[in-house]
Amino acid sequence: MTTSRPAEFGDEKLVTLAQKGQSEAFEVLVERYKQKAYRIAFDFTRDREEAKDLSQEAFLRAFTHLKGFDLRAGFYTWFYRILVNLCLDYRRRRGRIAWEPFDEKTHMDGGQSEMAGAISSPDREAMSGEISRRVGEALQALSAKQRTAFILKNHQGLSIHEIAKMMQSAEGTVKTHIHRAVTTLRQRLAELV
C-alpha cells in the first residue's frame, strides 16, 4: 500500500488539511511558492531583505485567513493577490525606492554578456549603473497600477487574464495599463544603449 507524501498533494488538498489545523500542509505550500513570491516582492522592493519580509508576511496573512478561503478560487491566485496588495502598500509607505546599481554577475544574459565583454570592466559597471538608475526613474514615472500591471506581465510573465484577476480589474483595463506603461518606458529609455 502506497501512502502519499504531503509534498505530492495538490494545492486544494493541502489547503483543506491546513484549514483543519495541519500547519505542516501549509509549510508545503510555502516551499512550493516561496521563490515565486520572493521574486514578485523583489520586483517591487529591489531589496533582498524587504522582499523576504514582504513575501513571508504574505504567507502569514494567508495562513491566518485560510479558514475563510474559498477553494474554488485557487490558492495561487488568492495568495498572489495578498502579496501584490502588500507590495503596493509597501510602495505607498516607502515612496520613491532607490534603484540599486546592477550587479553585473546577476544582470547579463548571453547577448549582453558578449557586448559587455568588449568594454572595460569599470566602463561596463558605470554603464550598468546608469542603465539601472534610468530604469528606476522610468518605473517611478508610472502610476501604481501601470507599474503593477507591467511588473506582473513583464517580470513575472503572468497572462492578462491572471493579472486581471489579481488586480480585480477588467482585462481591457489591464491591457491599457500595460500599453501606457510600455510606451512611457520606451520614451524614457530609448536613448539608452
If binding is defined by CB under 8 A, does position 152 make contact with another protein? no
If binding is defined by CB under 8 A, does position 65 make contact with another protein? no
Using CB under 8 A, which of 6, 36, 63, 162 touches another protein?
Answer: 63
CA dist., res. 183 & res. 179, Å (int): 6
Distances (CA, A) of 122 to 32, 99, 100, 129, 136: 40, 19, 17, 10, 21
Complex with another protein: residue 144 or 192, whichever CB lies closer: 192
Using CB under 8 A, which of 92, 109, 120, 168 touches another protein?
Answer: 109
Complex with another protein: residue 70 or 109, whichever CB lies closer: 109
- Show the binding pattern over residues 113-132: x = contacts another protein (CB under 8 A), - = does not: ------------------xx
Residue 154: name the closest of 139, 170, 172, 169 by CA.
Answer: 139
Using CB under 8 A, which of 40, 139, 149, 152 touches another protein?
Answer: 139
If binding is defined by CB under 8 A, does position 183 make contact with another protein? yes
Complex with another protein: residue 2 or 82, whichever CB lies closer: 82
In the 8-state DSSP scheme, what is residue 66? G
If binding is defined by CB under 8 A, does position 48 make contact with another protein? yes
Distances (CA, A) of 78 to 39, 93, 152, 178, 188: 17, 23, 15, 22, 34
Task: List helix spans (H) across the chain.
Answer: 11-19, 23-45, 48-64, 75-94, 104-107, 110-117, 121-140, 144-150, 160-167, 171-189
Describe the crossing of helices 48-64 and 75-94 by its angle, rounded to 10 degrees.
Answer: 130
If binding is defined by CB under 8 A, does position 153 make contact with another protein? yes
Residues found near another protein in the complex (CB under 8 A): 21, 23, 26-27, 30-31, 34-35, 38-39, 42, 46, 48, 51-52, 56, 59-60, 63-64, 100, 102, 106-107, 109, 131-132, 135, 138-139, 153-155, 159-160, 175-176, 178-179, 182-183, 185-187, 189-193
